[in-house]
């Protein structure tokens, strides 16, 4: 049923309200749908996997500071070279740099915290310590970005603001192809690990008791999550709460903890949210706002609801 809804929404978006040439409209709208597919797959799958690793349905990969690091990169370019450099930079070079920096930061953080078995004093390095350090780095990146934003010219800051919100329309065709290849390869690598993810959902101790090499598997999964989120963010921009929305909707709709149900459901619901939202914004509200703003608003409300519902526990 969800698949049928996705196909119907895609067909409505592609073939209705065409103002001119159908071929030209399909070319432009087709890129938008493919960009939404890349984001839905990357963010939906990575969030479900990340929440399984951390055993927490409120956290998303964004907690590690990906969005803050992306904004810091854009702000640094404008602060050092000016807004003209940001507007005229080679898209492929920018995408590669952003992908390497964000994915590299995540993996270096993970290797630093999990490089040894124990820390001084004997405390085992844990996922929760990694999350705490990620939050601290995220706050640091945001603070540094805000300091530079106050120093730059207001006109250049207006140009920089466009990078603060995700844009799903008219992505660069070459970057779109590379992103789809990377995300597709990462999801393909996840498929054989779906039964392993079901075991990891039981907790670290039960998973180890059932024969899972916990640290090795978590390292591989975290690497896949980092690559998918970095590739998606480098393509369209930051999407802080999108993963939170689609993952929790997937848990509710699928009605199962098995990842062979929840992971595809998160991807499908991500496409429903993106394509359906863009369809409504374009055909009903005449693009008076952007889809990313609506997503962040709805995601923020959902985050507060989840926090308040869990507070008694």
Q: What is the full DSSP assignment across the chain?
A: -HHHHHHHHHHHHHHSS--S-HHHHHHHHHHHHHHHHHHHHHHHHHHHHHHHHHT-SS--GGGGTHHHHHHHHHHHHHHHH-HHHHHHS-HHHHHHHHHHHHHHHHHHHHHHHHSSSB-TTSPBP-HHHHHHHHHHHHHHHHHHHHHHHHHS-HHHHHHHGGGGS---SS--HHHHHHHHHHHHHHHHHHGGGHHHHHHHTT-HHHHHHTT--HHHHHHHHHHHHHHHHHHHHHHH---TTHHHHHHHHHHHHH----HHHHHHHHHHHHHHHHHHHHHHHHHTSTTSS-HHHHHHHHHHHHHHHHHHHHTT-
Over 70: is that where the pLDDT of 127 sits?
no
Question: How confident is the model at residue 42, as a pLDDT?
Answer: 92
- pLDDT band at 313; cut points 50, 70, 90: very low
The pLDDT tens digits of the residues spanning 70-91 come to 888 888 888 888 878 877 888 8
Question: How confident is the model at residue 305, as a pLDDT?
Answer: 80
Question: How confident is the model at residue 34, as a pLDDT?
Answer: 92
- pLDDT band at 182; cut points 50, 70, 90: very high
Question: How confident is the model at residue 266, as a pLDDT?
Answer: 92
Question: How confident is the model at residue 220, as a pLDDT?
Answer: 86
The pLDDT tens digits of the residues spanning 50-73 come to 888 888 888 788 777 778 888 888
More confident call, 306 vs 259? 259
The pLDDT tens digits of the residues spanning 104-123 come to 887 787 777 665 544 443 33
Question: How confident is the model at residue 119, as a pLDDT?
Answer: 45
More confident call, 124 vs 170? 170
- pLDDT band at 264; cut points 50, 70, 90: very high
Q: Give the percent of the chain with pLDDT over 90.
A: 15
């Amino acid at each position: 049923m969800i698949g049928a809804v996705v196909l119907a929404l895609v067909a409505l978006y592609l073939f209705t309200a065409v103002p001119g040439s159908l071929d030209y409209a399909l070319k432009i709208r087709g890129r938008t749908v493919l960009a939404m597919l890349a984001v839905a797959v990357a963010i939906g799958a990575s969030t479900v996997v990340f929440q399984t690793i951390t055993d927490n349905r409120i956290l998303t990969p964004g907690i590690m500071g990906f969005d803050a690091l992306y904004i810091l990169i854009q702000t640094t370019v404008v602060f050092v070279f000016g807004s003209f450099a940001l507007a005229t930079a080679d898209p492929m070079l920018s995408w590669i740099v952003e992908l390497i920096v964000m994915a590299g930061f995540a993996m270096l953080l993970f290797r630093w915290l999990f490089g040894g078995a124990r820390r001084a004093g004997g405390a085992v390095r844990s996922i929760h310590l990694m999350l705490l350090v990620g939050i601290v780095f995220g706050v640091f990146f945001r603070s540094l970005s805000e300091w530079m934003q106050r120093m730059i010219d207001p006109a250049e800051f207006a140009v920089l603001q466009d990078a603060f919100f995700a844009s799903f329309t008219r992505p660069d065709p070459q970057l779109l192809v590379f992103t789809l290849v990377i995300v597709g390869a990462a999801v393909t690598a996840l498929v054989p690990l779906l039964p392993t993810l079901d075991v990891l959902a039981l907790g670290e101790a039960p998973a180890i008791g059932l024969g899972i090499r916990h640290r090795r598997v978590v390292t591989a999964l975290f690497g896949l999550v980092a690559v998918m989120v970095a590739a998606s963010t480098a393509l369209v921009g930051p999407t802080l709460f999108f993963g939170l929305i689609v993952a929790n909707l997937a848990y509710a709709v699928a009605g199962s903890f098995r990842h062979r149900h929840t992971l595809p459901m998160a991807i499908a619901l991500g496409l429903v949210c993106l394509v359906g939202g863009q369809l409504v914004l374009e055909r009903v509200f005449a693009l008076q706002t952007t889809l990313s703003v609506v997503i962040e608003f709805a995601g923020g409300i959902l985050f507060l609801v989840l926090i308040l519902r869990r507070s008694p526990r």
